[in-house]
């Protein structure tokens, strides 16, 4: 398998954590592919019409994109405990995945607004509206976090990647000070080897 990736992408990080947790990491060849909404990568665009990372090319030549699709595909390839569980647990995990990804979507839009958009075209009300979604997601996570326990599934992985992105791009937010239940859970989950191995390092 080949994975087009950027080391700073939180969605790539989600795929990387799943690959490590499922024992599939060694089967994946990683191809660096920096891309932004205003500077698409040609190699990625050939494999993914949306020209976004992560993009996975399977051993059969199938081209998969969107971290949710790639993660579920990887989860189908191993015989261990599933990160996409069955029954009622599946819907809880998928809801958490949607919550974590929604937080990420909003945080990334604010990042693009302040980093990529020319200063004279930036819209503060738009950025404020997206940060309202970030805080709403954090408030919901805070209510749910005491029930996470030691659960490892696509939901908790997604939440961890969202919180990790806030550490990476919004370190002045101090979400731990405002959401102590979330912080207590994150302290345990972030200690997992797969999470520690995938901390983003690219400052750009």
Mean pLDDT by 10 residues, the chain (204 residues): 94 98 98 75 74 92 96 97 97 98 97 77 88 98 98 98 97 96 98 97 61
List Cα–Cα distances, 167 to 24, 32, 36, 157, in angstroms.
27, 23, 20, 15
How many alpha carbons fall within 13 Å on the CB side of residue 90? 7
pTM of the shown model: 0.93
Q: Tokens for 153, please give them.
A: 């599934």
> What secondary structure does DSSP assign to 96-143, as a single string?
HHHHHHHHHHHHHHHHHHHHTS-GGG--HHHHHHHHHHHHHHHHHHHH
Least Cα distance to 197 among 66, 68, 5, 7 occurs for: 7
How many alpha carbons fall within 13 Å on the CB side of residue 135? 9
pLDDT at position 158 is 98
End-to-end CA distance of the chain: 27
pLDDT at position 201 is 78
List domains and CATH numbers for the chain.
2-75 (3.40.30.10), 88-194 (1.20.1050.10)
pLDDT at position 190 is 98
pLDDT at position 203 is 53
Query: What is residue 148's three-state secondary structure?
Result: coil
């Amino acid at each position: 398998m080949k994975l087009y990736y950027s080391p700073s992408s939180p969605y790539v990080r989600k795929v990387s954590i799943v690959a490590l947790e499922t024992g599939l990491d060694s089967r994946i060849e990683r191809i660096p592919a920096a891309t932004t909404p205003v500077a698409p990568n040609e190699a990625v665009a050939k494999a993914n019409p949306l020209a976004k990372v992560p993009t996975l090319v399977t051993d059969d030549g199938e081209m998969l994109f969107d971290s949710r699709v790639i993660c579920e595909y990887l989860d189908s390839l191993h015989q261990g405990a599933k990160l996409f569980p069955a029954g009622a647990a599946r819907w809880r995990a998928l809801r958490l995945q949607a919550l974590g990804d929604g937080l990420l979507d909003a945080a990334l839009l604010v990042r693009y607004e302040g980093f990529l958009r020319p200063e004279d075209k930036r819209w503060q009300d738009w950025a404020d509206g997206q940060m309202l979604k970030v805080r709403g997601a954090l408030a919901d996570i805070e209510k749910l976090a005491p029930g996470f326990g030691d659960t490892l599934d696509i939901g908790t992985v997604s939440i961890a990647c969202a919180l990790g992105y806030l550490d990476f791009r919004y370190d002045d937010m101090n979400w731990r000070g405002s959401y102590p239940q979330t912080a207590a859970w994150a302290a345990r989950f972030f200690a997992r080897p797969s999470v520690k191995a995938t901390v983003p390092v690219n400052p750009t």
